[in-house]
Amino acid sequence: MAIHHPTAPARAGERSRSPKPQIGPVTHALRVMLAADPDQPRIRDLRRAIADRIEAGIALLDALTPDCDLEGEPDAEGLTDDNGLGDWDGMDEQLTRHAELLAGLR
């Protein structure tokens, strides 16, 4: 003859039906981490110091190197009516310019 109970016994292999749920180590660790108050002022100061250091590095690079986005004047390149090598005059122009550039490097 079987005895029928409205609730399962405590160690019957299923979860306990107690009103308070059991807390495992992961849940406990998550609750501790969420409850911990991070040191916001120190983090904010550290972020500001890092941002200032990056800005100082960028300013130093800007001061040491010319503006790479600035394009030179067309006259700075010498002859600007470049016809290419499609005709003899263009080829002569290229060879003359090439010789001038090589002479300037010596």
Domain ranges of the chain: 39-66
Which of the residues in the chain have pLDDT under 50? none
Say what the pLDDT of residue 95 is. 79
- 33, 41, 42, 83, 84 from 87: Cα distances, Å: 77, 71, 70, 8, 7
- Give me the amino acid identity at 48: R
Say what the pLDDT of residue 81 is. 59
Phi and psi dihedrals of 11, rounded to 5? -110, 45
Say what the pLDDT of residue 49 is. 97
16/26 Cα distance (integer angstroms): 19
Say what the pLDDT of residue 105 is. 75
Say what the pLDDT of residue 46 is. 93
Say what the pLDDT of residue 56 is. 96
pLDDT digits (tens, 9 = 90+) for 71-95: 666 555 555 555 555 666 667 777 7
